[in-house]
Each structure stands twice: as C-alpha cells, then as structure tokens.
Structure 1
C-alpha cells in the first residue's frame, strides 16, 4: 500500500511540474483580437525536445485580459507594438502543447521594453 501511495505521489508531482502558467517573448505580429508571441521554449518544454524550430503562439485577448506595464501602469491593446517583449499569463495552465494548436487565452499581459 505504501508503494502504491508513493508511486501515485510521484506521478502526481511530475504531472504538476509540467504545468506552464506564463510565457515570455517578443510580439511578432498583431491581429484584430490577438497577438503572436514567440513560444519556442514552451513547445520544447512540453515536448521534451531540443529542436531548433522557432514557434509562435497566438494569444487571444478578451475584454477581461489585463494589459499593464512592468511598473503596473495600465496599457491598452492599441498601444501594443511588434517587438514589444511581453509576459503572458494564461487563463488556464498549459499542461501540454501540440505544435499544430498553439492558441491560448491571456489572463494578463505585462509589457516590457521593445527589443531592438
């Protein structure tokens, strides 16, 4: 019984450690209600891969998405620009990534200086 509990605990802890709550990357494009952000690290982590492929995630922005600067000041969707570095916090934690489906909903976006 102790071995079963220990095994279950080990599996549970490993499953939890694969959850991703945010990504940090550069905005590569801006659409009507979304931005595209580099997310290669997320894909590599999820797939246990070391490939050199550059992945971009589509980040859906809703009316509830909070957008702010690193200092905590309000920021609007219209102020976002290509090359802004952002941290995107997801509405739901990401537990696995399929390179065919790289669209996620943002709960909060923190904007940093532009990468130049």
Structure 2
C-alpha cells in the first residue's frame, strides 16, 4: 500500500497553503496555487480554441495541429488529480475568499473532463 501518492501530496500542499494564507494573510501563500490554477485555465483555453481553429483546415495540417495539442495537454497530467480532488481544492480556495478563481477552477475541471475520454486521454 502506497501511503504518499502524488495526488494526496498535491491536495495536502494546497490545504497547507490555504491555512497559511488564512492564519497569516500578509504572507500571500495562496498566490502560488492561484497562479497554477490560472495557468491551467489558460492552457485548456488555448487547447480548446486551437482545437476549434483546426477545423478550418481540410488536409493533413488538421491532424498535425491536433497531435501538437495532445502533446501540450500531457503537461496537465503531470500531477494526476481526480476531479473530486480538484473540486475540494476549489472549495478551499472559495473558503479563503478567492471566489472568482474558484469559479474559474470549476470551469477548468469541467473543460478538462469533457475533453478527456474514458481512458483519461484527450480525444482527437
């Protein structure tokens, strides 16, 4: 039995950052997590819009763009968090007062889950 897997370490780090930010607000400890959330949102937004733009091509260029997008999306699975881990983090951030960022994170989770198939890979 593996006690420390990657997902629980990430969730524990998020909880600790929120607690530090609540206890010592001038530390801005939550900014690290918030910047990561916004970076992930921008990644999925770029992937979504580039995927839609790839439909304007009719030749092999469309498949090249989609393959490049799949390689980019593999970066988002560096820390394998399930959707319920991400919702827990969004709830923590909402409780810490970052309501809009929490809403954006829920949208990011929805986008990522819609674009992945049942095997956890991005559909092309």
Same fold (TM over 0.5): no
TM-score (normalised: structure 1): 0.31
Which structure has greater helix proportion? 2
Give the alignment's TM-score, normalised by structure 2: 0.30
Question: Which is strand-richer, 1 or 2?
Answer: 1
